[in-house]
A and B are shown apart, each in its own frame.
Chain A
Amino acid sequence: MPETGGRELTFAQAIREALAEEMRRDKTVCILGEDVAEAGTPFKVLSGLLEEFGKDRVLDTPISEAGFTGLAVGAAMTGMRPVVDIMFGDFITLTMDQMVNQAAKVHYMSGGMWKVPMVMRTTLGATRRSAAQHSQSLHAWFCHVPGLKVVMPSTPFDAKGLLKSAIRDENPVVFFEDKMMYKLKGSVPAEDYTVPLGVADVKRAGEDISLVATSSMVQVALGAATMLEEIGISAEVVDPRTLWPLDEKTLIESAKKTSRVIVLDEGYERYGVTAELASVIATGAFYDLDAPVKRMGAMHVPIPFSPPLEDVTVPTEQTVFEAARALCGR
């Protein structure tokens, strides 16, 4: 890991820095999306990029997610490296044909002749009081499709390094940002560095239980680990960082070491990412497990508006703490 020299950035600033660095490095990188230029997105993630790179490279589009995503697929095939911004992860539904039937399949269907080096940046995460159509975490949908890569950063450091890798990748990459994490601060080197896709990271070492967590759930797992430490349970927090490609080895090794695993992901638990990760771990570490792998994800309900309702739909530090304690027989 490069030296950070104590330099801290927010998650949003890290994203912006990655984009700015890649746009300086490669003239074919451009940004397309709704309110990405003067507005810098509603989350202000892209503020300042228009001023540096101009309207030719930071392009406001109509509210046409399928249209500008499709345009990006064709642009990527023919020499550009577009980064499309899908404001809320809920809106990926509007891009599905372009991502699933076009972007993901062009390389294979053409026998490897055409490539689609594009990035879709979008968001996930509930508890922002935004109700059922602005709060979902639908990343599992893209994980299901061969030809796509799915990236889930959980820290400013990872966000910058992973986004730079995503932009340089020759394939369509979907990059999910937890919108509740944009103000999270962390160490980020000013220098050019990348985090490779497909390499998990142990965010905290532990001995008694593994908390395998993605994106928003990494911070939840770290909080729960601190609570567990107070009652004498040493929790390891493992972040896959990318769901495809998936670093199965690191997940399985952690499970073998601790013998107990909770998999945490903010997507719907049913038929979701937690099921796949639990299966990988249960298969790979079967003889070393002392308990079934436990899964914790979003409840199988549309995300409700009312705060007391919304808050119970996703795992929290408290619910993870309790589940881990129970799994450890305490």
Chain B
Amino acid sequence: MTTAAQPREVLEKIDLWLRMYRQMVSIRQFEAQVNDLYTRALMPGLAHLYIGEEAVAVGVCEALQRTDYITSTHRGHGHCLAKGASPDRMFAELLGKEAGYCKGKGGSMHIADPATGNLGANAIVCGSAGIATGAAFSAQRLGTGQVSVCFFGEGALGQGLLYEVMNLAQLFKLPVIYVCENNLYTEYTHYSETTAGDILARATAFDLESVTVDGQNVRAMYEFAQLLVDRARRGGGPAFLLCNTYRYHGHHVGDINREYYRSKQEEQTWKTERDPIVNFGKWLIEQKLADQAALDGMQSEIESQMKKAVEFAIAAPYPSPDKVEQDVYA
């Protein structure tokens, strides 16, 4: 597959590139199953799909260690998977089953997993910015060398909390990276209608190391994330990573008719020209790191894994109602 003509740094990263491809496909397949569960009325509540934004979660989480912290959002399945959560327990949580990560008490918007440093997805927009900053505070005070990543959508730019904690993070020189996923739409409104001025300037005002990156390019995502994570781990302080990306589906699974806020043409352009998985697959083939058959094989292998994970979740029992008062207090 590989040849001596390839640059050494590409060869050294073969495992990493293939793992990142696999992770992105896993997220997309996971979300496809979620959409299917929802449309078959097998899933209670709502789901906010991450399809289209996979490169952001994967690029950032590949730059992290397992013990590093993340906080996630209502659109959080991708972050959880990229940080190492298991699809079967995630599906179980989405269906409200006892076997879920949160014993069914959290659901789609609250998956947490201490084993992978996942402090939890959060259904309050910007709600986890304090938590992520506090985890970085602990890492610094306890000298653990951990880094904390706060994922949030550009809608969170409207919340005052973000600016309070970025200020604190810089004053205390905390190892935290604020990862802004600008998928262009704050629910059903284009971000330009809700966001004055320049996004990056909001972070540079606090003197955060601030970078804009193509969120559809997983290699760029990884490389910039790695730079900022290493910097934070060395004590260089907080950073802000603005990732330009796109949400293929609606705000949530029930948001089907979207033409009042964006055109089908626009969606089509992003899907055909800037898809993070397709484009990364092409690059892998061009670099002779993989061939189409290998990528297709990986695709169908993951698809069958996801189907098994869904079957596990469907078959899993619900929590008994007498568990309702458990875990209110530690």
Contact partner of A109 among B102, B142, B160, B329, CB < 8 A? B102
- Min CB distance B125 to A, Å, is 10
Contacts of B122 in A (CB 8 A): 102
Q: Are A30 and B329 in contact (CB under 8 A)?
A: no
Complex Cα distance A116/B327, Å?
Answer: 12
User: How large, as a class, is the contact surface on chain A?
Assistant: 35 or more
Contacts of B215 in A (CB 8 A): none
* Partner-binding segment picked from B131-139, B223-231, B259-267, B286-294: B131-139
* Known contacts A62-B164, A171-B330; is-contact A71 B134 (Cβ 8 Å): yes
Q: Are A108 and B120 in contact (CB under 8 A)?
A: no
Q: Are B127 and A78 in contact (CB under 8 A)?
A: no
Complex Cα distance A116/B130, Å?
Answer: 13
Q: Are B168 and A68 in contact (CB under 8 A)?
A: yes
- Min CB distance B254 to A, Å, is 23
B32 at the interface (CB under 8 A from A): no
Q: Are A62 and B326 in contact (CB under 8 A)?
A: no
Q: Are B138 and A78 in contact (CB under 8 A)?
A: yes
Chain B 301-325, CB within 8 Å of chain A: the 1/0 string?
0000000000000000000000000
Contact partner of B161 among A70, A82, A115, A117, CB < 8 A? A70
- Min CB distance A30 to B, Å, is 7
A146 at the interface (CB under 8 A from B): yes
Contacts of A115 in B (CB 8 A): 330
Contacts of B103 in A (CB 8 A): 111-112
Which residues of A are in contact with B by a Cβ distance under 8 Å? Answer: 28, 30, 56, 59, 61-62, 64, 66-80, 82, 97-98, 101-102, 106-117, 146-147, 149, 170-171
Q: Are A70 and B131 in contact (CB under 8 A)?
A: yes
- Min CB distance A61 to B, Å, is 7
Complex Cα distance A76/B330, Å?
Answer: 13
* Known contacts A62-B168, A80-B137, A109-B120; is-contact A102 B130 (Cβ 8 Å): yes
Given A71-B133, A109-B102, 14 other A-B residues pairs in contact with their CB atoms under 8 A: A66-B160, A67-B133, A74-B71, A74-B133, A75-B138, A75-B141, A80-B137, A102-B127, A106-B131, A108-B327, A110-B106, A112-B103, A114-B114, A147-B328
B284 at the interface (CB under 8 A from A): no
Q: Which of A79, A102, A113 has the most CB of B within 10 A?
A: A113
User: How large, as a class, is the contact surface on chain B?
Assistant: 35 or more
Contacts of A146 in B (CB 8 A): 328
Complex Cα distance A171/B330, Å?
Answer: 6
B4 at the interface (CB under 8 A from A): no
B165 at the interface (CB under 8 A from A): yes
Q: Which of A56, A59, A64, A75 has the most CB of B within 10 A?
A: A75
Q: Are B131 and A74 in contact (CB under 8 A)?
A: yes
Q: Are A70 and B129 in contact (CB under 8 A)?
A: yes
> Which B95-130 residues sit within 8 Å CB-CB of chain A?
100-106, 110, 112-114, 119-120, 122, 124, 127-130
- Min CB distance A114 to B, Å, is 6
Contacts of B141 in A (CB 8 A): 28, 30, 56, 75, 80
> Which B168-207 residues sit within 8 Å CB-CB of chain A?
168, 171-172
Complex Cα distance A102/B171, Å?
Answer: 23
B244 at the interface (CB under 8 A from A): no
- Min CB distance A275 to B, Å, is 22
Chain B residue nearest to A70 in the complex (CB): B130
Contacts of A67 in B (CB 8 A): 130, 133, 161, 164-165, 167-168
